[in-house]
Every structure is written in structure tokens, then in C-alpha cells.
Amino acid sequence: MKKEIKTSKAPLPVGPYSQAIQHGNLLFCSGQVAIDPKSNEVLKGSVQEQASMVMENIKGVLSEAGLGFDHVVKTTIFLTKMSDFSTVNEVYAKYFKAPFPARSTVAVSELPKGVQVEIEVLAVKN
């Protein structure tokens, strides 16, 4: 049975979706963007600042489900400019330790709310 995960430590969804859905020992987290959960406003900073906020938002969702970054097995990163790949990697690497999750990174023409980076994760509760 699926269970909705909802937290004030991450921004409200900008559409008809949940922050995350837990099904059994799997947690499917919707893509997070650089929206400050306190103000629900988009962070207009650099891609590095946006990536940091995205990772903190993911941390909030994982925490609400009783999980942490060590439970993440797969991530997908969406970038509006592939030239930001190494900058986002620097931020991303601060949150994970080996063995790192499997990952895909995709360049897209646009992201919701005009942000530069979106990250989604899949986590497994041991």
C-alpha cells in the first residue's frame, strides 16, 4: 500500500503530485527544485546555491520518511545547462558517500519556476 510523505521541510508541490510516496521499503521522491520551504519562494541565486537548496529539500523529505542520504540508491539530475555539471557535482558530493547512488544527469531546455537544477531520488529502507 502506498503512503504519502508530506513535510514542511520541503516546498509544497507546484502541481498535482506528492513530495514523496512510500511503497513498502521503497521511497519515490518527486523532483525537488530551489524553492525555500519557509517562504515557498524560488531561490534566484547561482546554480551552486540552488543545488544546495535542492539537496536540503531532499534531506527534509528523506528525514520525514525516517531515511537519510545513505538510503538513496538512484538519483536523476535535470540541468538547464550541462556546463553546470561540475558545479552541481561539487554540491551533490557533500551529501553522499561511497558507494554512491546510481545516477543519470539530463540537460533539459527548461525547468519549473525558471530554476536551473532539479533532482529526484529513489531510496530504500533497509
What CATH code is carried by the domain that includes residue 83? 3.30.1330.40
Residue 112 has pLDDT above 90, yes or no: yes
What angle do helix axes 85-93 and 47-64 make, rounded to 10 degrees?
Answer: 40
pLDDT tens, 14-25? 899 999 999 999
Q: How many domains does the chain have?
A: 1
Residue 122 has pLDDT above 90, yes or no: yes
* Reported pTM: 0.96
| Secondary structure of 33-56 as H, E, C letters | CCEECCCCEECCCCHHHHHHHHHH
pLDDT tens, 55-75? 999 999 999 999 999 999 999
Task: Find the domain containing 61 and state its range.
Answer: 2-124
Residue 126: per-residue pLDDT: 83
